[in-house]
Amino acid sequence: MHIVVVGLNHRTAPIALRERVAFSDQQAGQGLIELKESYGSPESVIVSTCNRTEIYSHQPAGFASDQIRRFLLEKSNLDERDLLSHLYEFTGIQAVQHLFRVASGLDSLVLGEPQILRQIRDAYSLSEKANTIGPTLHSLFRNALFTGKRARTETQIGSGGFSVGHAAVELSSSIFGSLGGSKVLVLGAGKMSEVTAKHLVSKGVSLVMVANRTFDRAQSLASRLGGQAIHYDDFPEALVTSDVVISSTAAPGYVLHDSDIRPAMKKRRGRPLFLIDLAVPRDIDPVVREMENVFLYDVDDLQAVVYNMARERAQDTALVQEIIDEEATKFEKWNKSLSVGPIVAQLKSRQEEIRQSELQRLRNQLPDVDAYAWQKIEAASLSMMNRQLKPAIDTIRRYAESEEVLSAAELIAAASTLFQIEPIPDAPAPEEEIR
């Protein structure tokens, strides 16, 4: 069995394509079950954020990653050429390293962003609920979370709380010059909205209005920000007095259209309206870019801002990469060692059968030996068997974990022939942790 990841991210695909392949929590839960029941993927985890959609799988040797591609094609309704040209695939140690890079924030739009660890944890939990995660992916994601925490504890990669929301506020400041006294409308009361709004408050905005389909959540966020909650249906009117609109809802389609903005712009008498769409799928219809004095930016427009952040953290990036390489190597050795587990167990079992048979034969030949003497004989025979097996077992495990020319499969086949043990198919990995 092998680990594979197929996906796309902000580096390989524009937002217009990424939003077609994005999964809500509900869609991801259903997709995991479909991958298992209809596409033959026994273990899968779907990681879907504003920057990426990735499917991690632990697959039998005969499984083709083309099946994951077919699944993504079906869900996105995209033309095959449009989607496949933007996908990437990693297997084995490269798949492990990629996930650890994601968890550490090195593969994010904003380097070291803190939200990705929570998003990976949520994806991991969702696959547990869907019963589509086995021992190998369980251990992989646990160790990805451990690696991400190490990166943030042992380096400064996550210092300052930089996030997509922070980058959006920096972009706002660069355009307005100063946000002091500005009025801000926040659509959505999720985590990204809160992070962004807190940065806005730190810049001295005069008023933050929060609109959410669930009014109680809008009130809760507004109270934490010292702002004002408004009913969701009233937000078009709030466009008239707002300077900046931050939208980050979980809606499946546009929530803000040109038909909402045109009436507001007439009443604004030429005052510019600054819109930041942090949602994937996008919240704001991109046609509003064509309107006079309306300035719309989405997550892909934040590249210039985050580029400067990344340059300042080059040294931390190198340190994080060392942690990733160390943890990935450790996981890969553990994962390889699992392949020899069944053959080692069967080898020990066969030798124990022989030992017990010989002890029974000896008992029949020596009926007068007392119990104490038999304990000594049994202990000596067990010690002799273990000492005889240890070099062979250690060698099998060493080769399985190493990069030596003789592969684990070749060594296992040789041991099977040498000890006359029937070759056995892939078996589920035991539920054990690396550490």
Residues carrying an active site annotation:
50
Measured distance between the N- and C-terminal CA atoms of the chain, rounded to whole angstroms: 22
Pairwise CA distance, residues 374 & 359, whole Å: 9
Pairwise CA distance, residues 343 & 349, whole Å: 10
Pairwise CA distance, residues 97 & 422, whole Å: 35
Concatenate the DSSP letters of all residues of 156-187 into one string.
STTGGG--HHHHHHHHHHHHHS--TT-EEEEE
Exposed, middle or buried: residue 173 (CB in 10 Å: 0-12, 13-18, 19+)?
middle
Q: Which of 25, 67, 157 is nearest to 103 (CA)?
A: 157
Concatenate the DSSP letters of all residues of 8-75 into one string.
EETTTS-HHHHHHH---HHHHHHHHHHHHHTS--SEEEEEE-SSEEEEEEEE-TT--THHHHHHHHHH
Exposed, middle or buried: residue 396 (CB in 10 Å: 0-12, 13-18, 19+)?
buried
Pairwise CA distance, residues 297 & 30, whole Å: 32
Name the H helices within 155-282: 164-176, 191-202, 215-225, 235-238, 258-268
Amino acid at 191: K
Residue 416 CB neighbour total at 10 angstroms: 16
Amino acid at 90: F
Pairwise CA distance, residues 415 & 343, whole Å: 8
